[in-house]
Structure 1
Amino acid sequence: MAVFQRTLWRLTSGVLGVTCLVLMATLGILLKNGSGCCFCQEKWIGYQCNCYFISNEKKTWAESRDFCASQNSTLFQLKNMDELQPFIKYLRNFYWIGLAYSDKHHAWMWEDGSAFSKDLFPLTKDLYPGNCIMFNAPKTVLNVPCTDEKFYICEQLLRCCLVQKGGQ
C-alpha cells in the first residue's frame, strides 16, 4: 500500500509539474506576442483604439510631424468630435494637427491623404494655403505659418485593435 501511494504521489506531482511548465510557457508566449500591442506608451492617453500624445514642447509643423513619425504615429487627425472627449481637459493651448493645404488637390487634406470634412469645424475662406492649421477645443482653428514653433498632438493606432476588428 505504501509503495502504491508513493508511486501515485510521484505520478501526480510529475503531471502537475509538466502542467505548470506548459502553462508558464504559454503565458510567456502570450505576453511576448502581445507586448506593446494594446497599451499606450508612458505619457500617452489611450482612448478606444488610439493613443494620443499632447506635447509640452514646441516644434514647427514639420518637426512635429517628424517627431510623431519617430514614435510610429502621425499628427492628430480629428475624425469626429467624440474623439476629443478623453483629453479635451488637457488642451490648454493651440496644437498642430495633421491638416495642411494640398497644392495638388487645391484643398485642405489630412496627413494621410484623406479629405477634410467641413462638418468637423469651420475653415474660413481667408485661410492662407501656405500655412498650417492649429486646433483647440471645442472647434477653434488658427492658420499660422508652418515654421512657427507650437505645441502638437500625435495620434497612434493600436495594432491589437486592427487584429480584433479583423484588419491587418
Structure 2
Amino acid sequence: MAVSQTTLWNLISGILGVICLLLMTTMGILLKNLLLTESIQPTLSPGPITELQKGSDCCSCPKRWIGHQCNCYLFFDELKSWTESRDFCASQNSSLLHIQNRDELRFVSSSKYFYWIGVYYSKENGTWLWENGLALPQDLLQTIQTFDTKKCVIYSSSHSVLDVSCEDKSRFICKQELM
C-alpha cells in the first residue's frame, strides 16, 4: 500500500510540474510578445500613414493624431521651448495650435496641462497674431492683450493663458489644417 501511495504522489507531482512548466512557457511567450509590440510602437513622428480617426467628422489624420472639424491635432508631452515646439510642428507639416472658435477651444480644453500655442506679438502690427498671421478673435483670449510682448503664451484646460519666457520648457499641441 505504501508503494502505491508513493507512486500516486510521484504521478501527481509530475503532472503539476508539467503544468507549471507550461504556464511559465506561456507567460514567457506572452511577455515577449508584449515587450516586442511596445518596442515597435511608432515614435513621435506620425509618418505618412493616414487613417480615418474616430470623431474626425470629415478628415483623415496621421496615426496618433486626433481629428476634429477637419483638422488634425497632436498633443505632445515632451517639453520644449516655444521655438523648438514651433519648429517640430513645422517638421510635421503642421503648426503650433491656433484656436479659431469656441468649439475648438472646448475641444483642446480636455487636457490638464499647459501647452504652447502658436501666438506671438507682432511689433510691425502692434498686436498679438497667430503663427499663420491671422488676428486673434476678440472673444477667445481677451487677457492676452495685457501680456508682456517679449514673452510667449501657454494655454491650459482651465481656459487660462499665461505669458512666460519663450525659453521655458512646456508641452505643446501641433495642428494640421486639412481644409
Q: If the TM-score is normalised by the length of the shorter chain, which range does it land in? A: 0.5 to 0.7
- How many angstroms does 1:156 deviate by? 0.3
**Count of residues in Structure 1 that have an aligned counterpart in Structure 2:** 124
Partner secondary structure for residue 55 of structure 1 = strand
Contact kept in structure 1, 2:152 and 2:164, CA below 8 Å? yes
Tell me the TM-score normalized by structure 1. Answer: 0.68
| Corresponding residue number in structure 2 for 1:80 | 101
Tell me the TM-score normalized by structure 2. Answer: 0.64
| Identical aligned residues as a percent | 43
| Corresponding residue number in structure 1 for 2:85 | 64
Which one is further off, 77-86 or 126-135?
A: 77-86
Highest RCO, 1 vs 2 (Cα 8 Å, sep ≥ 6): 1
- The gaps in structure 2 that reach 5 residues or longer are 1-48, 52-58
The 4+ residue runs of structure 1 with deviation greater than 4 A are none
Q: Residue by residue, what CA displacement relative to the aligned partner does 1:72-129 show, whole Å, maximum 9, x if unpaired? A: 000000011201344432x111100011111111110100011112200222554110
- The gaps in structure 1 that reach 5 residues or longer are 1-34, 163-168
Note if 1:46 corresponds to 2:67.
Answer: yes
Q: Distance in 2 between matches of 1:124 and 1:68?
A: 23
Compared with structure 1, are the counterparts of its residues 129 and 48 closer, same or farther at alpha carbon in structure 2 (3 Å cutoff)? same
| Corresponding residue number in structure 2 for 1:121 | 141
Q: Distance in 1 between matches of 2:91 and 2:162?
A: 26
Q: Distance in 1 between matches of 2:144 and 2:63?
A: 37
* Aligned Cα root-mean-square deviation (Å): 1.8
Greater Rg by CA? 2
